Amino acid sequence: MNNVLNKVGLDSKMALGFIGVMLFMMGDGLEQGWLSSYLMDQGLTVQQSALLFSVYGFAAAIAAWLSGVLAEILGPRKAMTIGLLLFIAGTVLFITLGLHQMNLAIMIPTYSLRGLGYPLFAYSFLVWITYYAPSDKLATAVGWFWFAFAAGLNVLGAYYSSFALSILGEINTLWSALVFVTLGATIAIFLNKEDSKEKNSNKFENKKDVVKYLSKGITIAFENPKIGLGCIVRTINTAGAYGFVVFMPAYMMEVGFTRSEWLQIYGALWTSNIFFNLIFGIVGDKLGWNKTVMWFGGVGCAISTAAFYYIPATMGPNYLAATIVAACFGACLAAYVPLSALVPSLAPDNKGAAMSILNLGAGLSTFVGPAIVGVFIGSLGVSGVIWIYTALYLLSAFLMKFITLPKQEETESADLSDLKRAVGSNVN
């Protein structure tokens, strides 16, 4: 069995951890496709529902930033345990107090508490991987993480809910999330074989050291501008995906697709994504992390984003063509996977702080994507929004020219000089 796992780039000692993450994220994501409509059926307005999810996203962004530094200070296991406890507390309070009374003033803080949980759990495990995996297999290991993360959050959780809702009902389906997160956490934290005895336990001898490292989770983006650029690229990475869910369903149905067909097309996007998370992790280790993100990620997403609009616009409700385009976009989103190997490698002595900046980008994408829709769709329409996303993906490809490992600096120092001239005093 160990030989089989090693051949696919999955270390046997960490294998249980990936399974645990998948189960945890399945519990976290089981309400994604239906909670908003359920709340509106219970009397909330569209604006109130949007506010609830916006604040939840803000909480998740903060937790995503904290995950790296807390994993560094406390160790991954302890940081993941905190994430589990926050998720359980938030779920219990949200269901018993918030949903029971349908009181938005209670629902917002309790659901946000739940939102603090999953980034601390999942992204702390990602930090664990960056310390444990050998550098020549790091992108592959990161690819396995994103495979487990996306499979649980976007596929298995939704698939489970499609059956559970008719049997358990909405409230009991939400309660069942605790079963998956507890089981996943038990596997990832307590049964995972890798002994992560806090490698940095002697690093923080007093409170001043802790405070200093917390601030490092911000200052490192300015001390090492490449890490700050990595945050921008990571924000762009999933901004389009989060923005699409706001306006693409209505657009696709305007074209002539049924709601069921759109859901199947959207499902194809994420099914493709989870498998290409693995493929591009391996490609990144072979071809190069920087090149994979630049060409397959940035340029690939730019092309497939434009195609996502223009193929239905010109061909009408062609289900096969739209499904292929969606699958291509999902695959290209996965090509950003090596970024999670590249950025922490830029700060080998402060990987947790570097990952905090990268995770902040992941959280910020939940704001940037929908915000672009809200600001521009009224004046520019769907095509205008599509071109904004397309331009952003091309920008991310351009920025990858400057996010290079130290061993590449001699041959690419001219590129960095160009960047310094472009951004002036922001690059030191």
The pLDDT tens digits for 401-410 are 999 987 654 4
| Per-residue model confidence (pLDDT) at position 188 | 92
Q: Does residue 180 sit in the same domain as residue 225?
A: no
At residue 153, the pLDDT reads: 86
pLDDT for 160: 86
Same domain, 319 and 189: no
Q: Which of 299, 301, 297, 294 is nearest to 403 (CA)?
A: 294
In this structure, the answer to whether residues 37 and 149 fall within a common structural domain is yes
pLDDT at 256: 95
What pLDDT is stored for residue 358 in this prediction? 92
Residues 6+ apart with CB under 8 A from 203: 72, 209, 213
Query: Which of 193, 211, 244 represents a domain boundary (last residue)?
Result: 193
Report d(CA 401, CA 18) in Å as an integer: 31
Same domain, 166 and 50: yes
What is the reported pTM?
Answer: 0.75
Shared-domain flag, residues 265 and 387? yes
Same-domain check for residues 144 and 230: no
For residue 199, is it within any domain? no
Scored b (16 or more CB within 10 A) or e, 244-278 reads bebbbbebbeebebeeebbbebbbbbbbbbbbbbb
Asked if 291 and 331 sit in the same domain, the reply is yes
Q: In terms of domains, do 185 and 227 share one?
A: no
156 and 17, same domain (yes or no):
yes
> Residue 102: which domain range?
9-193
CB atoms within 10 A of CB 146: 23
pLDDT at 9: 55
Same domain? 80 vs 138: yes
Which tens digits make up the pLDDT trace of 49-79? 767 877 887 888 889 888 888 887 888 999 9
Distance CA 357, CA 379 (A): 33
Residue 408 lies in a domain: no
What's the pLDDT at 407? Answer: 64
Q: Answer yes or no: is 419 within a domain.
A: no
**Is the CB of residue 177 less than 8 Å from the CB of residue 51?**
no
In a domain, 344, yes or no: yes
Low-confidence residues of the chain, pLDDT below 50? 197-202, 409-414, 416-417, 419-420, 423, 425-428
Confirm whether 420 is domain-assigned.
Answer: no
Q: Is residue 205 one of the residues assigned to a domain?
A: no
Question: Does any domain span residue 73?
Answer: yes
Same domain assignment for residues 228 and 189: no
pLDDT at 412: 46
CA nearest to 53, candidates 120, 93, 107 = 107
Please answer whether residues 282 and 9 qualify as being in contact, where contact means their C-beta atoms are separated by less than 8 angstroms: yes
Number of domains in the chain: 2
Residues 39 and 175 in one domain: yes
Residue 424 placed within a domain: no
The domain that holds 32 is classified in CATH as: 1.20.1250.20
